[in-house]
């Protein structure tokens, strides 16, 4: 199945929208559709509202219920492949849109959520050159979560050394730092630098992010050179939260951070 022209929805969002559209066109309640698939009626609600991802069995059941030729199965395959996002697809498509609070730590780069296109392109050009533009667009679209009616609060901790690492060259870094300054003025976004002098041993192992969802649950993602992981395991969440608190205790205030970013812009311009 090919995406609709101009369709900017993720495969998962398209699955949810199409499920609701076909159900209403068939004049079926969620309970009635659940009986046809079959599944619990709450699963229909969760998938239509984006709280749960469909399974292959569910996609096959939906196609059978509506008399379709692999429409939902094709969408499921696009969800499961997620070539532009890889293991991180679950975080972008499931976690971020449902988050009330997002917290992140980045020791080497500007956080992905706050990257502009040129900076992201410079990263992917060496780290993941295949499907380059698709990956770049997938990354920069993430900022749209702050345009909705209930945007999350985002607390981003960044190592000060990131300001002095010219990813993509001087011009790209200057443009990115200006964009970071602009985003840091958003009422829902707080950026804090952790000074190099802090040492920050707790943060040297990897970048990570935490999310508190609307239902009160918490999820973490952790990245490394060889693998990445998204989990809601209570013990893993507790460990990452403790590490985040240790790192944030070393962070500079927002006003000091913004001044440091402005200073870095002047440095690289000269």
Q: Output the domain CATH number for residue 42.
A: 1.10.260.40
Domain end marker among 81, 97, 125: 81
Residue 2 domain-assigned (yes or no): no
Q: What is the pLDDT of residues 131-140, one digit of tens each?
A: 788 889 889 9
- Check whether residue 231 and residue 180 sit in a common domain: yes
Phi, psi of 227 (to 5 degrees): -160, 170
Say whether both 94 and 165 belong to one domain: yes
pTM metric for this prediction: 0.69
Q: In this structure, are 93 and 57 located in the same domain?
A: no
Q: Is 4 inside any structural domain?
A: no
Please tell me the predicted confidence (pLDDT) of residue 186.
95
The H-assigned helical ranges of 26-108 are 30-36, 41-48, 56-66, 71-81, 89-90
Q: Which of 35-49, 67-81, 238-252 shows the lowest per-residue confidence on average (mean pLDDT)?
A: 67-81
Structure confidence at residue 80 (pLDDT):
57
Statement: residue 260 has pLDDT above 70: yes
What's the pLDDT score for residue 6?
39
Domain of residue 121, residue span = 86-269
Tell me the average pLDDT across 168-190.
97
**Structural domains in the chain (count):** 2
Q: Is the pLDDT of residue 44 over 70?
A: yes
Quick one: 252 and 130 in the same domain? yes
Dihedral through CA 232, CA 236, CA 241, CA 247, nearest 10? Answer: -130
More confident: 85 or 250: 250
Nearest CA to 167 out of 159, 179, 158, 176 is that of 176
In a domain, 220, yes or no: yes
Task: State the pLDDT at residue 2.
Answer: 44
* 6 is a domain residue: no
Is 131 found in the same domain as 44? no
If you average pLDDT over residues 28-51, what whole number do you get?
A: 90
Residue 180 lies in a domain: yes
Instruction: Provide mean pLDDT across the span 159-183.
Output: 97
| pLDDT of the residue at 76 | 81
């Amino acid at each position: 199945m090919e995406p609709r022209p101009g369709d900017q929805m993720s495969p998962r969002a398209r699955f949810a929208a199409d499920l609701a559209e076909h159900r209403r066109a068939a004049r079926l309640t969620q309970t009635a559709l659940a009986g046809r698939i079959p599944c619990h009626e709450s699963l229909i609600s969760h998938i239509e509202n984006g709280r749960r991802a469909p399974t292959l069995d569910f996609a096959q059941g939906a196609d059978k219920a509506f008399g379709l030729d692999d429409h939902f199965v094709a969408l499921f395959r696009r969800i499961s492949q997620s070539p532009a996002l890889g293991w991180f697809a679950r975080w972008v498509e499931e976690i971020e849109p449902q988050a009330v609070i997002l917290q992140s730590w980045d020791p080497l780069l500007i956080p992905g959520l706050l990257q502009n296109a040129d900076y992201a392109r410079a990263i992917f050009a060496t780290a993941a050159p295949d499907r380059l533009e698709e990956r770049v667009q997938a990354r920069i679209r993430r900022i749209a979560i702050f345009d909705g009616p209930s945007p999350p609060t985002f607390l981003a901790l960044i190592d000060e050394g990131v300001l002095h690492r010219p990813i993509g060259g001087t011009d790209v870094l200057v443009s990115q730092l200006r964009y970071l300054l602009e985003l840091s003025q958003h009422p829902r976004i707080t950026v804090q630098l952790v000074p190099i002098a802090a040492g920050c041993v707790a943060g040297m192992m990897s970048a990570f992010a935490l999310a508190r969802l609307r239902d009160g649950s918490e999820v973490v993602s952790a990245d490394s050179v060889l693998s990445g992981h998204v989990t809601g395991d209570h013990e893993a969440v507790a460990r990452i939260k403790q590490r985040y608190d240790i790192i944030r205790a070393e962070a500079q205030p927002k006003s000091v951070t913004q001044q440091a970013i402005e200073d870095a812009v002047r440095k690289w311009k000269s």
